[in-house]
Amino acid sequence: MLYTEQVIKHFKKPHNQGVIKNADAIGQKGNLACGDVMKIYLKIGKKKNGHESENFIKNIKFETLGCAAAIAVSSALTDRIKGMTFKEALAVNKDDIVNDLGGLPAPKIHCSMLGLEALHEAIENYDKK
């Protein structure tokens, strides 16, 4: 399987690429097998949910040093989770991202984990604050 049109589009013009200065949380993950690295920056807001308020992802940016699939995954992931509460964002799995991209070649499926792992770490880091 070759890269889909969606992968190529996200790779050529990634969405949400860059740094958030004064980010509320940062997560970074590397893939030991290939050496690729992804860093996620989050800006967090509060959403009212009845009497409670919930954290949500107001803004998200990424920096990825990696393969075409890792960059496309980062772009699609950040598009999908912007505006989500932490609970919603943590429920997103690799199949959601692979589907958003119209599929990934089998040897590249592992690349979809990098973004999710960096996101989970950023949320964990925020919760530890």
- In the complex, the residues that contact ligand FES under the rule CB under 6 A are 31, 34, 36, 66-67, 69-70, 108, 111, 114
Token pair 């990634």: residue: 14
Q: From the CB of 118, what's the least distance to ligand FES, in Å?
A: 11
- Which of 34/91 has CB closer to ligand FES? 34
- Which of 57/114 has CB closer to ligand FES? 114
Instruction: Extract the tokens encoding 53.
Output: 């308020």
Q: From the CB of 45, what's the least distance to ligand FES, in Å?
A: 30
Q: From the CB of 103, what's the least distance to ligand FES, in Å?
A: 15
- Which of 44/115 has CB closer to ligand FES? 115
Q: From the CB of 43, what's the least distance to ligand FES, in Å?
A: 25
- Which of 5/33 has CB closer to ligand FES? 33
Report the distance separating Cα 114 and Cα 99, nearest Å: 16
